[in-house]
Amino acid sequence: MDERPDNSQQLMDILLVMDKEEKTIQAVSGVQDGKLQTKNPLEDNNDLLKVDRHGDMFSNFFSNLWSQLKDPTRFHFFRVPEEEIQRVAEDFQQTVKNPTPEGQARMAQYEVQPPQQAQQQGQATAGQQQSTDAPPQQQPPQEQQQYKYDVNKIDWDTAASIGIKREQLEQNGMLDQMLKGFQTDKTVRVYFNLGSLSHSNDSQLSLRENPDGKLVVCSHGILDLDKMQKQFFGYEIASKDMDTIKLTGNLGHPAEVTNRAGEKIPSLISRNLKTNELVSFPLDKVRIPAEKNGHTFTPEEITKLKQGEAVVCQFKTKVKEGQTPKNYQAPVQFNAAKMQLEFLFGERGKLAMDRHREMQKQNTNLEVPKTFRKQELTEKSRIELSAGGTVKVSGLKDKNGKPYHGYVTWQPGQKYPAFMFPKDYKTALEEGRVKPAVENEVQVAVNSEGKTNEATKNLKEALQSAQTRPTREQKQQQDRKEQQKEDKKQEQRQEQKQDKPRQKRTRGVTR
């Protein structure tokens, strides 16, 4: 008799909720009389609501929960793996108290959409699936080319014998990922019965084509991180590299692996963060997009990313129409397991940011001068210069002792920073030859890019250097103009009231 999977051992998800009014992060424990019941996720609670990780089961559960709530729009919900609940909940609570673009981006990774939005997306996906599942002769040429593998070449009878069912894979989106050549991001329980030996575990799935053209379903079970292999397809992983893979998930540099044909292929190696399986990706197939989240990668950044390094860049948040995006720093790295560029969040992101700051400090201390024309540069200014930024320097004196100020930039290899007087700096800024100094970012955004903030939205004059809000005189002038407009409107309303009675009397005389 086949041994069926033990559902109690399946990987589960916990539902976190953010109360918009209370500004708190809690774990959902139930719904009573239309009110959400919650518990502290940082405590050891065995009675939290746990939901099977399969997508279709979760969708049904969340739709039912949403429909029971009296005020559902008051909450934001997040779906978090049970094994990460305390770490993620603590990170979310810090972000709620002290919002940052990086923290909000991390929260968005886990957010669950309301059923109305999920239904709209489901309808769009269903339309695509319907066209995909149509008979080959009825499909447009584009639809035939969207998948790497042919679904009809999968031996579904053999797959079903180990617990893998086509209907389940279609419902939770895993089949679509497999046919496109990717490893699934969700897991299913697979079980094997070899007579005297039986085994079951949660696994991610992928497809591999045999030389005879048949497709094989590959099971990628969850491995013990402490027992990770030290040799990977002929490549000996050094102890230092092993620690790096365990901490960051990526080797961070190219390695020569031997493929099944015996060829040595320069590749990048990453760890699947869910299964701990090592995965390689050929170096010559690594593709880096020209732009991501508002940041255009430089040739130097692209080279580093193709070599597997983590690179810290300035990105922009995605906002609704009419809003101004915010800049935020974040590390990105190519992940061989995902076969694409990814943001590094959590502990992985912190490690990358720490290394980036350490490198900046080392470059600053070794290369950027500590003084400029006898004026000491602050550490913040030197770090800004080392990153290619512009810094304002005041307190300088000419040969006659007369004070002056200006702007400096610095490039690696230069002995001294390059100096510009304010007039030259303004021209270079307009031509895009230099980045604005930190204290001038608001000025440039308002004067040159047409952006506004609450303090400057009614200001007609151009902002001056280092100015972020109107001066006292400018504010008074704004107030006077606003009062004059209001007085004029009031006079027009009075005149309209006086004109109406006259019109009535005139019509009366005519009659």
pLDDT tens string, the chain, 511 residues long: the values are: 333 233 333 456 788 888 888 888 988 887 777 788 888 887 655 556 676 654 445 666 677 777 777 777 788 888 887 767 888 888 888 888 888 877 887 888 788 877 654 444 444 444 444 443 444 333 333 333 357 888 888 888 888 888 888 888 888 788 888 888 888 878 888 887 776 777 787 888 888 888 777 888 888 888 888 888 888 899 999 999 999 999 999 999 999 999 878 889 999 999 988 888 898 999 988 988 888 888 888 888 999 999 999 999 988 887 777 788 888 889 999 999 888 899 998 888 899 998 888 877 766 555 678 888 888 888 888 888 877 788 999 889 888 889 999 999 887 667 778 899 999 998 888 877 887 876 554 444 444 445 454 444 555 554 444 444 555 666 667 777 777 777 777 777 777 766 655 544 445 444 4
> CA gyration radius for the chain?
31
At 54, list the tokens: 């399969």
**Position 12, amino acid:** M
Separation between Cα atoms, residue 186 and residue 220, nearest integer Å: 11
How many whole angstroms from its chain centre is CA 427? 35
Separation between Cα atoms, residue 155 and residue 400, nearest integer Å: 89
Per-residue CA distances from 353 to 102, 312, 346 (Å): 12, 7, 11
Work out the number of other CB atoms within 10 angstroms of the CB of residue 21: 8
pLDDT at residue 467, as a whole number: 45
pLDDT at residue 439, as a whole number: 56
pLDDT at residue 270, as a whole number: 93
User: Is this prediction's pTM over 0.75?
Assistant: no
pLDDT at residue 277, as a whole number: 87
At 165, list the tokens: 């069912």
Of 355, 377, 353, 350, give the one whose Cα is nearest residue 365: 377
Return phi, psi of residue 493, to 5°: -65, -40
Separation between Cα atoms, residue 507 and residue 511, nearest integer Å: 7
What tens digit of pLDDT does each residue of 257-288 get? 998 788 899 999 999 888 888 989 999 889 88
